[in-house]
A and B are shown apart, each in its own frame.
Chain A
Amino acid sequence: MKFEVLMPSLSPTMETGTLTKWLVAAGDSVSIGDLVAEIETDKSTMEVDAQEDGTVLELLVAEGSENIPINTPIAILEIDGDEMSIPASPPPEVVTEAPPKTSEVITEAAPKTPEVITEAAPPPKVEQPHGVSETLRTDVRTALRDAMAEEMRRDEMVFLMGEEVAEYQGAYKISQGLLEEFGERRVVDTPITEHGFTGLGVGAAFAGLRPIVEFMTFNFAMQAMDQMINSAAKTLYMSGGQMGCPIVFRGPNGAAARVAAQHSQDYAAWYSHIPGLKVIQPFSAADAKGLLKSAIRDDNPVIFLENEILYSHESDVPIDEDFTVPIGKARIWQQGNDVTLVSFGIGMSHTLRAAEMLRDIGIDAEIIDLRTLRPMDTATVIESVKKTNRCVTIEEGWPVCSIGNYVSSVIMQEAFDWLDAPVINCTGKDVPMPYAANLEKLALISPNDIVEAVRSVTYR
């Protein structure tokens, strides 16, 4: 039986190649796996192996021949027919088989604007005011600690790891008392080794545990970025849904005070870019608690961005152990008619102060706390903008490719006809954080910036 050896393709872009060398001659006998020829393209060299046991009958192209199209027969083998379990000549139909017309199908199905993955939208119910159950005045620090403690009591698989989380009680005292209650098996002090312990946490999550990984601050998570994105966020997809990664990465994010450029940065926009991650940045203590509990219960990797300056801020927090706040749901902090202010995290402090100043000049602002940045509750924003016809976004991070940029783009696509003014993004200044007190103040957003922006979109 005759068997054709074809010119192979070395890469998806290769069309032709050079046969640099024959390693066999007519009459030679070859076994499966034996090398028969060497071929070359501008990029690479590869050896062609015998796909069957047999004898070389004929070499069809001369050594040194250039520009041989892929799939051209280059040699003929005589092989033992009885041993065969596949047809002798690799059927050219297989090779030339029209590829299924996937690209067409995709173009048809593709939405006009790139689809952003959000969870099935949660039912649009107005959030229960916190007065439903009994509440206690609590600061964000305690709220976060309580959230972790409650979830650790509830689920043995939950554990906390990070630098100084155990004996030291947390660099910012968030894990106070946890070592005492849960012991060193579940509250694990790590070496200063962000890349390593983040990967280790991801592996533990693959194996079914539910790690909470604390970063002393998110500035240091830069060293672990690869594990968070390439390993934690993408593996569910790459495994066709098999390998989930239920893990929470949490810690303070954003500018503290006078710690300069390497210790003052808001990563909201960075992580929000990544499909596969959920990103939360709470403002109030109640949201901090309710969202952290939801994050720990969630089966996906969640980035939970806290803020050092907010740790001691207090609000009424439900004491009910079953209290949670749904991920992916914004909160209308204050109703208003003249302009929509969209913010999150520490940006909310500035926004609330600005709203008071605006009230004094007769501007009635509607305030939306996004709370979750991915999946983002843009529906609530759009609904509000259709009422106020104006929008200003407020965040601490930098202006280029910011959260505000994304919100603006959604508004433009979904509520363009309702806008009476361009959307303005109030952000931190486009510089590394300076140390000098006066410069630092200038680099951060201020309530005044917000008031200015609102005056400009309301033409007052």
Chain B
Amino acid sequence: MNRRALISRIVFSVCAALLGVAFALPLIWFVFAPFNAHADLDLALPAPPTLANFARVFANGAAVGALLNSLLQAFGTVLLVATTATLAAYALARATLRGKRVIEYVLLLFSSVVSGSAAMVPIFLIVNALGLIDTQLAVILVFAGGLLPTAMFILRDFIASIPRGYEESALVAGASPWRAFVDVVVPVLRPGVTIAAVWAFVQVWGGFLIPFVLLRSEQRMPASVEIYSFYSQAGTPIVPLLAAYSVLYSLPVIALYWYVNRKYGFRFFGGIKS
């Protein structure tokens, strides 16, 4: 290797290392701060490491309840989105429907509007008119409405990659169309549904605006909103508690990714198709 190449290589490595450190610092903070009773925004080794922050979070009934609310909203939405999106995507992928394309584009357009903040006022008015303000159902329905079109598109592509022959051979074997769908399409589609479900879960889990606008009482708020209770009146964060709560808040998402990765190895798009 000549000198020039060597120097440019060294310069490159140093730059890359600096860049890596810049990104790693917040993560390192995130590892240490929850276990540091006196954590602030500086990076510091906890001395001694302690679980006191977590104990204080768990002692806070509202904070724990908020995590449960988040789970309820996320699972509710995922269930609704996964079932309706699967059925709708199946229809879109398989039916020979006149004007199918137009329907798809209109849906795609609406999905970005419905989940966007621009629609919050009309959504609030509609939910209010339905008498659903301050209910978990309202949050679930609005989330599901926003996520449904995209989930449907994810699944439609999965279904389009399943040969029709699978269903057809079930039909001639004596199955009704519904039976063929349940026996053959749904199992083959499972990786696709899992992706859509995980994606929807993460969206709801991190969603702030919708529950913030539609809910009133603190005992119904999800963690994404409740996390602001760890700010003082003046708006400054109570860092030790915030750090501990953040860890708890990220755990389900991490667990979910870990599970999906173990089960499907993130090679989703090959699926289990042979």
Question: Are chains A and B native binding partners rather than an unrelated pairing?
Answer: no
* Residues of A that sit less than 8 Å from B by CB: none
* Residues of B that sit less than 8 Å from A by CB: none
